[in-house]
Structure 1
Amino acid sequence: MAQLTQTSPTAPTPPAPQPRSHRAWLIAVVAGAAIVTAGAFTTVPGLLVTPLHEAYAWDRGQIALAASVNMVLFGLTAPFAAALMDKVGIRRVVVGALLLVTAGALLTSVMTAPWQLVAYWGVLIGLGSGCLTMTFAASVTNSWFDRRRGLVTGALSSSSHLGQLIFLPLLAWSVDSFGWQPPVVTLAFVALAVAALVLLLLRDHPADVGMKPYGATEFVPKPAPATGAARRTVNVLVRAGRTGPFWLLAGMFIICGASTNGIMWSNWAPAAHDHGMHVTTAASLLSLIGIFSALGAVVSGWLTDRFDPRRLLTVYFTLRALTLLALPMVFSAGITPQMIVFVIVYGLVDVATVPPVIALANRCYGEDGPIVFGWTNSAHQLGAGASAFLGATARDLFGSYGVVWTTLSAICLVAALLALVVRAPRSA
C-alpha cells in the first residue's frame, strides 16, 4: 500500500528533476493555436457579403446580421468563459468551443436561408469563439507560469490578430478562386484538427502532470473546482452599473467597437469592392492594419504607464475620427500612398484604446477592475455588432458607405470628449 501511495497521481510531491524545456511552453503554443484559429473566423463574414449577395440575392443587411450576432455573443460569452473554466477545466471548455466552431462552419456551408447563417455563424461560432479570448489566455498563463506571465499573456492576446493576419489573405484568395464554400469547410476542419491537438496536449494545471509552474520554486497543488465565480461576475456588473465611470468606459468602448472590428471585419471588403478594389488586395490591406494594430497596442501600453490614460484616449479617438472622415477620399481601385497612410495611422490607434481603458478600470474599481473591463469589452462587442448590421443596411439604403464613415467619425469625436470626464484617481 505504501508503494501505491507514493505513485498516486494526486500525491503533492512533484518529481525531483525538472526538464530543461518546460512543458508550459508547449501548453502556451497549443493555447495559441486555438486562439489563432478562433481569430481566423472573425475575418470571414466580410469576405462572404458580396459572394452571398450575388449568389442568393440576400440583402447585405441580412448577411451582416449574422456577423452582428456573432460579435455580440462573442462579447457576452467571454466574462463567463473563465468561470466555466474554473469549474470544469480549461481543456474541456476549449475542446467544446472548437467543436461548436467546427459545427457552425460545416452547417454554414450547406445553408439555404439567411436565418441559417445567423444561427450557424452568428450563434454557434459566436459562442465557441467567445470562449477563446483574453480570458482563456489569462487562465492558461495564471495556471502554468509563475515567471514570464506578461510575455505569455501578451503573446496569447495577440494570437487572435495573428489568426487574422495569417488566414485573411489566404481566405480572400480562396473565395475569389474557388467560391465561398471551400474556404469555410477548410476552416472547419482546421478547427477540428486543433480541437484534437488540444485534447491530446493541453492540460488544465501543471499538477495534472506532476510539474511545477514555469519559474516556480515550489510545487503548486491543483485548486479545487471554483464555485460562485459566475455569481461574482454578475454582482460586479450590478455594482459597477451604479457608478458613472462604468457607463463612460462602456460608452467609449461601444463607440470603439463600432468604429473598428464592427465595421472593418464585416464591411471593409464590400466597401473596397464598391471602389473597384480586388478582394485579395482589400484583404491584404486589412491584414496590414492588423500588423500596425499590434504595434500600436504595445506602444500604447508603454505610454499608459507614463501619461494620463484619459488624454491618451482623447488623442486616439480624435485620430480615428480624422482617418475615418478621410477614408472615402483615399479609397481607390488600387493601393496608393494615401491609402498606406490611412492603414498606418488607423492601425496604430485601432487597439491602442485597450491599455488606457484597462488602466482606468483598475484605478476606479480596484480588484474588481479586470471583471469590469470584461463587461466593458462586452459593450465593445455590442457596438461592433450594431455597426456591422447598420453599416451594411446603410449601404443597401444609400448605395454607398459614405454616410457610414461620416457617422462613425462623428461618434469617435464624442468618445474623445467622454474620455476627458472619466473621474479616476491620479495615482494607480
Structure 2
Amino acid sequence: MPGLSKLAIDPGWRASSLVIALGAYLMVPLIFFFFKESPQSINTTPYGAESDWVPPVLNKGSAAKNAIDSLRAAVKVRNFWYLTGSFFVCGLSTSGLIGTHFIPAAHDHGMVTVTAASLLALIGVFDVIGTIFSGVLTDRIDPRKLLFFYYFLRGLSLFLLPSILFSTLHPSTLVFIIFYGLDWVATVPPTVLLCRQVLGPDKGAVIYGWVFAAHQIGGSIAALGAALLRVKFGDYATAFYITGLLCVVTSYFVLQMNWVKEDK
C-alpha cells in the first residue's frame, strides 16, 4: 500500500494500476499449477476430518442451476437472512468504508497519504492473524457469540474513529488499526460454519457464496454512500457513526440465529 500510494502520487495513478494488474497476472500460473480442487486430489482428507471420511457426492448438472436452486431453498430459512444481513454490514464496514475511505479520512485530518496507506497495510497484516485465531475459536465457541463480539466491538471502534485521527501517528490510532485488522476477516470462520447449517454441510459452500454476494453489495454501497456523506457534511464522521450503529444492531441479530453444534 505505501508503495502504491507513492506511485499514485508520482508518476500517477496509471502506474499504480499497472503494478496491480501485473500482480494479478502473476497469480495466474501460481493458481493454475499449485492450487488443488479438493483434498482427495492430493490423497488427503479435509482438516479435522476423521480417517473414515467419505467425500460428498458431486452435484450433477448445471452449476448455475444448482446455485439458483440452493438460493430458492435458502430464502425460506431464517438463518440465511440473518447471515446475509450480517455479512452485508461486514462488507459495509470493511472494504466499503475503511478499505476505500480510511486514507482520505486520515488525510482530512492532516495525515500524509503514504502514512495513512501504511496504516491501512498494517490492517492487512493483522487481519491474517485475526482470521487464524478466529478459526481456532470457532472450533471451540458458539459462532453466534463470536459474531456478537466481533460486530459489537467493531461498531464501538467506528464510533471512536473520528476522535482519534490526527495529522501524525497517535497511539490511539495505532490501537484502532491493530484491532480493526484483527477483526476484519474474523467474521468469516463463524459465518462459514453457520452457512453449513442453512441447507446442510453439502450446500455450505454455495450458501456462503450467496452470503458473500451480500458482503460485496454492502461494500459497494458504503464506497459510494460514504463519499456522498463526505461531500454533504464535509467529513466522514457521519459515515463512521452510521456504520458503527449498523454494526451494533447486527451484533444483536446474530444472536437470534439457530445453531446446533456439529459432531467432530
Q: Same fold (TM over 0.5)?
A: yes
Q: Hey, what does 2:52 align to over in structure 1?
A: none
TM-score (norm 2): 0.86
Q: Aligned partners of 1:319, 1:203: CA distance in 2, in Å?
A: 38
Which residue of 1 is the match for residue 90 of structure 2?
256
* Structure-2 residue corresponding to 1:39: none
- Contact residue 318 and residue 413 of structure 1 kept, 8 A: yes
| Counterparts in 2 of 1:243 and 1:170: CA distance versus 1, 3 Å | same
Percent of residue pairs bearing the same amino acid type: 36
Aligned CA distance change for structure 1 residues 405 and 204 (closer, same or farther; 3 Å): closer
Alignment of 1:9-28 (within 5 A): none
Considering only aligned residues, what root-mean-square deviation do their CA atoms show, in Å? 2.4
2:205 is aligned to: 370
Q: Structure 2: how far apart are the matches of 1:205 and 1:302?
A: 23
Distance 1:330 1:345 in 2: 14
Partner of 1:385: 220
2:89 and 2:134 mapped to 1: Cα distance?
19
Aligned-partner SS, 2:42: coil
Q: Which runs of 5+ in 1 are unaligned?
A: 1-167, 207-211, 217-223
* 1:423 aligned counterpart, secondary structure: coil
Partner Cα separation in structure 2 for residue 204 and residue 348 of structure 1: 26
Note the 1:268-287 alignment, pairs <5 A.
268-287=102-121
Q: Which amino acid aligns with 2:254?
A: A
C-alpha distance in 2 between matches for 1:353 and 1:251:
13
Q: Which runs of no fewer than 5 residues in structure 2 stay unpaired?
A: 45-57
Question: Counterparts of 2:188 and 2:20 in 1: how far apart (Å)?
Answer: 29
Identify the residue that residue 171 of structure 1 maps to in structure 2: 4
Aligned partners of 2:139 and 2:25: how far apart in 1?
Answer: 41
Structure having the higher Rg:
1
1:81-230 maps to which residues of 2 (within 5 A)?
Answer: 168-192=1-25, 194-195=27-28, 197=29, 202=33, 213-215=41-43, 227-230=61-64
Q: Structure 2 CA distance, aligned partners of 1:198 and 1:245? A: 37
Shift of 1:321: 0.7
Of the three residues 396, 401, 411, the one matched with 2:236 is 401
2:79 to 201, 223, 245: 245
Note closer, same or farther for the CA distance 1:275–1:245 as it changes in structure 2 (3 Å cut).
Answer: same
Query: For structure 1, which segment, 312-321 or 262-271, has the greater mean C-alpha deviation from structure 2 after superposition?
Result: 262-271
Cα offset for 1:345? 1.3
Counterpart contact for 1:289–1:346, Cα < 8 Å: yes
Give me the whole-angstrom Cα distance separating, in 1, the residues matched to 2:36 and 2:90. Answer: 35
Contact 2:198 2:207 in 1 (8 A): no
User: Which residue of structure 2 lines up, in the alignment, with residue 320 of structure 1?
Assistant: 154
- Contact 1:319–1:346 (Cα < 8 Å) also in 2: no
Aligned to 2:134: 300
Corresponding residue pairs, total: 247
- Give 1:401 shift: 0.3
Matches within 5 A, 1:284-363: 284-363=118-197
Distance 1:293 1:190, change over 3 A: closer
For the residues of structure 2 that align with 1:346 and 1:381, how far apart are their CA atoms? 18
CA contact (8 A) 1:176 1:279 kept: no
- Measured against aligned partners, the alpha-carbon deviations of 1:268-315 in whole angstroms (never above 9, x if no partner) come to 111111011111111110111111111111111111111111111101
Identify which of structures 1 and 2 has the higher relative contact order when contacts are C-alpha pairs closer than 8 Å and 6+ apart. 2
**Aligned mates of 1:204, 1:415 — CA distance in 2:** 35
CA drift at 1:391: 0.5
Secondary structure of the structure 2 residue equivalent to 1:364: coil
Give the counterpart letter for 1:393 in structure 2.
L
Q: In structure 2, the residue corresponding to 1:314 is in which secondary structure? A: helix
- Deviation, 1:186, is 3.4
2 CA distance for matches of 1:305 and 1:198? 30
Maintained 8 Å contact 2:101/2:223: yes
